[in-house]
């Protein structure tokens, strides 16, 4: 790995820190929305593709198992983990519907849907957000670049304004960990 990539990552963090008050306010608002939903018996659904699917699974695991505190499991599910659902929906309908059909099946008003997308334009995440909004489910985007189409319909967004996917993903996981810790502190 080149030393330049370490410096790029550090510079991306510095960019976030230069607007820390605004960025931290968004993270805090996201954590408060998730905390409120969980305290009221609702769940967190998370979706994304590729590395963002892995981040969705990581985030769900931090809620269901634990982050830093010993506590009861918190209701969270990554929509990218059920290969039978994903492949049957993709085969019978289209890949664009793999998350929206799951949201429609298990989501309810008061739940939260987090979509993770480095481009902000993942069609299946966008479609899931459209279905969620029609169901009264709050949508939160953890996005890259300019936020893309998802940012336009999401209730709340954390956007990493970068065009380099690895750097976006590095910030995303930092933000996800921060959200997990804040929710854990709020709920427990």
Mean pLDDT of 144-169: 95
Mean pLDDT of 138-143: 98
> Is a pLDDT exceeding 90 seen at residue 15?
no
> Is a pLDDT exceeding 60 seen at residue 177?
yes
pLDDT band at 16 (very low <50, low <70, confident <90, very high): low
What local confidence, expressed as pLDDT, does residue 9 receive? Answer: 73
> Is a pLDDT exceeding 80 seen at residue 154?
yes
Mean pLDDT of 32-52: 98
Instruction: Give residue-wise pLDDT tens across range 68-102.
Output: 999 999 999 999 999 999 999 999 999 999 999 99
> Is a pLDDT exceeding 60 seen at residue 1?
no
Mean pLDDT of 118-142: 98
Residue 49 sits in a domain of what CATH number? 3.40.50.10490
Looking at the chain, the whole-number percentage of residues with pLDDT higher than 70 is 97
Higher-confidence residue: 6 or 69? 69
Q: Model pTM?
A: 0.93
Number of domains in the chain: 1
Q: State the residue range of the domain holding 26.
A: 3-187
What local confidence, expressed as pLDDT, does residue 146 receive? Answer: 97
156-160, strands of its sheet edge to edge: 76-78, 44-48, 112-117, 138-144, 156-160
Average pLDDT over the chain, rounded to an integer: 94
> Is a pLDDT exceeding 90 seen at residue 188?
no
């Amino acid at each position: 790995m080149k030393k330049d990539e370490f410096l790029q990552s550090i510079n991306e963090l510095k960019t976030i820190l230069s607007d820390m008050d605004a960025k931290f306010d968004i993270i805090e608002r996201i954590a408060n929305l998730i905390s409120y939903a969980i305290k009221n018996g609702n769940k967190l659904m998370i979706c994304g593709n590729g590395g963002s699917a892995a981040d969705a699974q990581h985030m769900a695991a931090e809620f269901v198992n634990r982050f830093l505190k010993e506590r009861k499991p918190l209701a969270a599910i990554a929509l990218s983990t059920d290969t039978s659902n994903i492949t049957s929906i993709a085969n019978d309908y289209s890949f664009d519907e793999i998350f929206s059909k799951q949201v429609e099946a298990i989501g309810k008003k008061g739940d939260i849907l987090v979509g993770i997308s480095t481009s902000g334009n993942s069609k299946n995440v966008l479609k899931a957000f459209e279905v969620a909004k029609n169901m009264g489910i709050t949508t939160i985007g953890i996005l890259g670049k300019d936020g893309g189409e998802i940012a336009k319909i999401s209730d709340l967004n954390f956007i990493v304004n970068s065009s380099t996917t690895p750097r976006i993903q590095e910030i995303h996981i930092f933000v996800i960990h921060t959200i997990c810790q804040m929710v854990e502190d709020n709920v427990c």
